[in-house]
């Protein structure tokens, strides 16, 4: 990547009381260089800012260049947030997986919704999954030099032919050699296997998990964990593709198969190692494993154990925070995906034991995506409008912010919270996590 393709890093937020606030940085300013180096991304920025003496070349919102000198302790953060983590642009995907969620969206939306990222920087910074099929020797070298570990790798299958078939990419067959590369450098990955019935399930799944388990050894296991996830299909996928959704029978089969392997891994590796996403149990209509099953939740970002963790955190927080009564009675509608309806019933009962508080759970499915069982994060504005209109919604809707794009008020279908609130004629309170949910319920105006 040449320096000319690196854009100045535009600042969107200056944290109060931070070094940057003291120096006088403002949103709209942009960092061009740090000690003469042009940061490519947030990783470079963090690395370069670890110096005690910084000379920053800054472009202000009016286009004027300034040089700012800062002395600080090496681990002091400047307190800046940027509009993007990638100042030189996104590394895009070169695969054509038939199950790609990006291709399963409706046509005619904003261009940015169709960008397929497969960028190791986002994997390192935010835990998004990548395939390793598009890395140049220079990028491999950077992973090694900067020790960008752990990365999150979509393995899907360790068999070269099966992986090539799934990713529709001739370069996809080298996964075992790539894992070897990580092992030799003592770098770690977390893996995921998206199970596509009829393609990488059955004996292929077993082979993949056993292959990956061979890389789980020593103090720094190369493959730290594996998530086994059912393929997610929407009504917008091409009808002629080779995919079939995971049925209840398939989910039961995968649960049985992986649980046998988990037992073996616990004995040999002292870890369950390969984890089943919550969705398998929801599809199979089986109880979720107990909280003690999940060790330190290594695959929580992939929906493994997230329901159990939510229930546990709710109990802890409710015990501390829930009052016995509210001074002013309040009524809320808490919107969730129908996948968690049963699991969340006890939480709603507990909230409703507070005198004066009434919480109604609205567990919706997504007609937008055409999914029978819908996880909360996939509900769209249109789904909410269809599921909630003409209903008594109380004083406000409690809206889990996982339905919204990060840092935005838009749903996946681009409808905004404000628009929906106007249409439903009720205030909408986005809540991020349990703490905010409970606080919204008990806050007295």
Question: Given the rule CB under 6 A, which residues bind ligand SF4?
Answer: 93, 95-97, 100, 102, 116, 118, 131
| Cα of 242 vs its chain's centroid, Å | 26
Nearer to ligand SF4, 93 or 434 (CB): 93
Residues in the chain: 445
In angstroms, rounded to a whole number, what is the distance separating the alpha carbons of residues 24 and 176? 50
In angstroms, rounded to a whole number, what is the distance separating the alpha carbons of residues 29 and 231? 43
Nearer to ligand SF4, 93 or 437 (CB): 93
Q: How far is the CB of 328 from ligand SF4 (least distance, A)?
A: 48
Q: How far is the CB of 40 from ligand SF4 (least distance, A)?
A: 21
Buried b (16+ CB within 10 A) or exposed e, 63-79: eeeeeeebeeeeeeebb
Nearer to ligand SF4, 96 or 217 (CB): 96
Nearer to ligand SF4, 42 or 93 (CB): 93
Q: For helices 433-442 and 306-321, what crossing angle results, to 10°?
A: 40
**The residue to which tokens 């004066």 are assigned:** 356
| Cα of 276 vs its chain's centroid, Å | 16
Q: How many CA atoms lie within 13 A of 203 on its CB side?
A: 1
CA-wise closest residue to 397 among 408, 387, 410, 407: 387
In angstroms, rounded to a whole number, what is the distance separating the alpha carbons of residues 347 and 363? 13
Cα-based distances in Å from 261 to 191, 258, 265, 295, 297: 16, 5, 6, 16, 18
Q: How far is the CB of 53 from ligand SF4 (least distance, A)?
A: 41
Q: How far is the CB of 95 from ligand SF4 (least distance, A)?
A: 4
Cα-based distances in Å from 222 to 152, 170, 175, 195, 432: 11, 24, 13, 22, 33
Nearer to ligand SF4, 100 or 396 (CB): 100
Whether residue 347 contacts residue 314, with contact meaning beta carbons closer than 8 Å, is answered with yes
Token output for 191: 């893996």
Nearer to ligand SF4, 155 or 393 (CB): 155
Q: How far is the CB of 305 from ligand SF4 (least distance, A)?
A: 23
Q: How many CA atoms lie within 13 A of 214 on its CB side?
A: 9
Nearer to ligand SF4, 93 or 283 (CB): 93
Q: How far is the CB of 116 from ligand SF4 (least distance, A)?
A: 4
Q: How far is the CB of 260 from ligand SF4 (least distance, A)?
A: 28
Q: How far is the CB of 96 from ligand SF4 (least distance, A)?
A: 6
Nearer to ligand SF4, 96 or 266 (CB): 96
């Amino acid at each position: 990547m040449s320096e000319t393709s690196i854009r100045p890093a535009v600042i969107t937020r200056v944290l109060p009381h931070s070094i940057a606030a003291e120096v006088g940085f403002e949103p709209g300013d942009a960092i061009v260089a740090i000690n003469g180096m042009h940061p490519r991304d947030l990783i470079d920025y963090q690395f370069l800012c670890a110096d005690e003496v910084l000379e920053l070349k800054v472009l202000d919102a009016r286009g004027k260049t300034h040089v700012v000198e800062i002395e600080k302790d090496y681990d002091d953060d400047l307190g800046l947030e940027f509009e993007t983590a990638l100042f030189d642009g996104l590394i895009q995907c070169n695969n054509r997986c038939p199950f790609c969620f990006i291709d399963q969206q409706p046509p005619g939306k904003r261009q940015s919704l169709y960008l397929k990222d497969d960028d190791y920087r986002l994997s390192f910074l935010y835990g998004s999954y990548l395939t390793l099929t598009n890395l140049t020797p220079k990028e491999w070298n950077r992973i090694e030099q900067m020790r960008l570990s752990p990365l999150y790798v979509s393995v899907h299958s360790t068999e070269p032919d099966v992986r090539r078939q799934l990713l529709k990419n001739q370069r996809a067959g080298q996964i075992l050699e790539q894992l070897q590369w990580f092992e030799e450098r003592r770098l770690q990955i977390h893996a995921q296997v998206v199970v596509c019935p009829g393609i990488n399930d059955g004996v292929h799944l077993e082979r993949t998990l056993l292959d990956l388990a061979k890389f789980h050894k020593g103090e720094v296991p190369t493959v730290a964990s594996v998530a086994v996830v059912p393929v997610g299909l929407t009504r917008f996928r091409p009808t002629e593709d080779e995919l079939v959704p995971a049925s209840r029978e398939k989910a039961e089969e995968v649960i049985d198969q992986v649980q046998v392997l988990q037992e073996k891994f616990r004995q040999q590796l002292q870890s369950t190692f390969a984890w089943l996403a919550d969705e398998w149990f929801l599809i199979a209509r089986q109880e979720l494993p107990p909280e003690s099953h999940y060790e330190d939740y290594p695959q929580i970002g992939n929906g493994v154990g997230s329901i159990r963790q939510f229930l546990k955190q709710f109990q802890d927080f409710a015990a501390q925070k829930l009052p016995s009564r509210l001074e002013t009675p309040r009524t809320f509608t808490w919107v969730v995906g129908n996948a968690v309806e049963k699991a969340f019933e006890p939480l709603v009962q507990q909230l409703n034991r507070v005198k004066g508080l009434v919480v109604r759970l609205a567990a919706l499915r997504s007609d937008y995506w055409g999914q029978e069982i819908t996880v909360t994060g996939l509900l769209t504005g249109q789904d909410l409008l269809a599921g909630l209109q003409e209903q008594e919604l109380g004083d406000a809707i409690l809206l889990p912010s996982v339905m919204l794009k990060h840092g935005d008020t838009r749903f996946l279908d681009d409808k905004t919270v404000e628009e929906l609130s106007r249409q439903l004629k009720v205030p909408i309170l986005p809540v991020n996590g349990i703490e905010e949910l409970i606080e919204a319920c008990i806050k007295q105006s």
